[in-house]
Structure 1
Amino acid sequence: MAAGPLPGQPGWQPKVVALDIDGTLLAWVDGQTEDYETIRPVVYDAIHRARAAGAHIVLASGRSPHGMTTIADLLDLPLEGSPEDPTPDVDDRLWVVAANGSILFRYPPQEVVHEETFDAAPAVRAVLAAHPNARVAAEERAIGGYLVNREFPEGELSGVQVVTPVDEIIGQPVNRVVIRDPEATADEFVELAQRLGLDSTEYVVGWSAWMDIAPAGINKASGLQHVVDALGLTAADVLAIGDGRNDREMLTWAGRGVAMGQSIDEVKVVADDVTASVLDDGVAVELARWFGEG
């Protein structure tokens, strides 16, 4: 049997479209008056064209589940039983990879189908030894938010924040820990993570002095692997689009990995291609290559 076209080559079309949220679907602009969590119409339309063509849309983010369902609602995708649903007899709920791959769930309703947990205490204590005033947070789904040792800056965590001693936060297995030091820089956190090593964990530094610590080997790519396995597909069927350090594994793993135009160089270098920036609707630009323009 002849092999099909290679990912990214003429004749290939993604069967799965994996989309980061912040910096990919959503653009934050200092001082903007528009609600930050807004899907621009051209991006919304492009995603719906991909969905109408039969592609599975998957959200893949560092956010916790409660911070992702609102985005799923904004996308307003056809769901099981919808008149627009081409496969009404199939469970067509959205696949969502949350917490940088530690949690996989279907929506709606929210149903966690896979979760990875670990002992974060050694890594957290090592970071706090260098940054004793840093904020620490771990998701607590029962409250729709986080347990934190002190409140994070406004707008940085979704859901409620319950102030809790660090020893209680990391005293039980967690799916991910967030460490944030508003007084430090992203470069300082990158250097710190490299110096500490953070054995038996997976870590990623964000745009600011923000570090996500997860179980070793767990990232967006590992979460997406669960999705394609369930769908009977492979990584070669996936188009992934993202902009942050936590997207690098996903962009490398996918058949076609595309970095947003505003991404830093260490993200662009691992991608197969670079699309327009989030402010120039890079997701819509890339999807138009495979699913046409509106």
Structure 2
Amino acid sequence: MSSAVEPSAAGSRVEPAPAGPAESHLVGLDIDGTLLTHDGVLSADVQHAAAAAQASGHHVVLASGRSLTAMTPVAELLGITSGWMVCSNGAVTVRLDPALPRGWELDQVRTFDPEPALRLLRDELPGARFAVEDIGVGFRLNALFPDGELDGEHQVVDFDQLWAREVTRVIVRSPEHTPDQFSAMAARIGLDDVTYAVGWTAWMDVAPRGVTKASALERLRERLGVDPGATVAVGDGHNDVDMLRWAARGVAMGHADDVVRGAADEVTGSIDEDGAVAVLRSLP
């Protein structure tokens, strides 16, 4: 069973367009492989295009599988200091405001009891590495992950301490398995009470049931009063599929696989071609 907590109510340079577009759009942007290269590089064109879209009055929302602590530096690079971020594949929504002591506050947190899923997954993958997220801090893990894969503080604990309290997500890492093998395993054991997505390696994110980037963005759309037809999403991974289907205009990056492309309305250039720039520049 999941629960929700809402702590608060509330190349060439692209010159920002005048504020006040005909209609403000809600634009959900994946980060890795969409805005940042796989080496973590943010191009000047992407930076300027995102700034121009926000300056025009659009709601530019970073929507990532990354945790809060890994997303705030990206928001800073993009110059996004106000608005919203969707973290942890939709489990955490944050309101950005430079007037706040930390520059952000938690808006909604969706959690679940990870014990049943962790027990099932350990039985299938006894040699895997497991981690659970502590919001704004880092992760508790049964073993350290490779350097650079997880951000924040890392605390190694006994396996049963991973379910000491409800969490926003579980991460499973099993390098000896292919993504296809991982997906088949997940389908076979029947993770019916959670939502899961298999990433670019044998990596799985397990979230509360029904929680995705799309569910968090839809909540923001309603809150901001954006028309459903004025929604845009750009992404490249399997955890972006629901978001691309949700948006009136779902755009897959050019390097995305057939599953992701099939969920989109259109395909833009690859990350090496700064494909997100064309989408951002096309906004009214």
Gap runs ≥5 in structure 1: 1-10, 30-35, 80-92
In structure 1, the residue matched to 2:210 is: 217
Q: Distance in 1 between matches of 2:246 and 2:24?
A: 14
Task: Give the secondary-structure state (helix, strand or coil) at the position aligned to 2:283.
Answer: helix
Match among 218, 222, 232 for residue 225 of structure 2: 232
Q: Distance in 2 between matches of 1:270 and 1:115?
A: 27
Percent of counterpart pairs with the same letter? 43
Cα deviation for residue 13 of structure 1 reads 6.2
Report if the CA contact (8 A) 2:213-2:242 is conserved.
yes
Cα deviation for residue 113 of structure 1 reads 0.8
Q: Distance in 2 between matches of 1:12 and 1:239?
A: 15
Cα deviation for residue 12 of structure 1 reads 8.4
In structure 1, the residue matched to 2:117 is: 123
Cα deviation for residue 46 of structure 1 reads 1.0
In structure 2, the residue matched to 1:274 is: 267
- TM-score, structure 1 as length reference: 0.84
Map of 1:167-206 to 2, 5 A cutoff?
167-206=160-199
Q: Distance in 2 between matches of 1:193 and 1:235?
A: 32
Cα deviation for residue 230 of structure 1 reads 1.6
Map of 1:1-294 to 2, 5 A cutoff?
15-29=25-39, 36=40, 38-77=41-80, 79=81, 93-108=82-97, 109-141=103-135, 144-291=137-284
1:245/1:12 CA distance change after superposition, 3 Å: farther
Gap runs ≥5 in structure 2: 1-20, 98-102
Q: Distance in 1 between matches of 2:83 and 2:121?
A: 36
Cα deviation for residue 233 of structure 1 reads 1.6
**What letter corresponds to residue 34 of structure 2 in structure 1?**
T
Q: Distance in 2 between matches of 1:201 and 1:94?
A: 28
Query: Runs of at least 4 residues of structure 1 off by over 2 A?
Result: 11-14, 288-291
Report if the CA contact (8 A) 1:46-1:287 is conserved.
yes
Which deviations, in whole Å up to 9, do the C-alpha atoms of 1:79-137 show, x marking residues without a partner? 5xxxxxxxxxxxxx220001100010112422011011111111111111111011111
Cα deviation for residue 269 of structure 1 reads 0.3
Give the root-mean-square deviation of aligned CA atoms.
Answer: 1.6
Cα deviation for residue 200 of structure 1 reads 0.9
Task: Give the secondary-structure state (helix, strand or coil) at the position aligned to 1:96.
Answer: strand
**What letter corresponds to residue 131 of structure 1 in structure 2?**
L
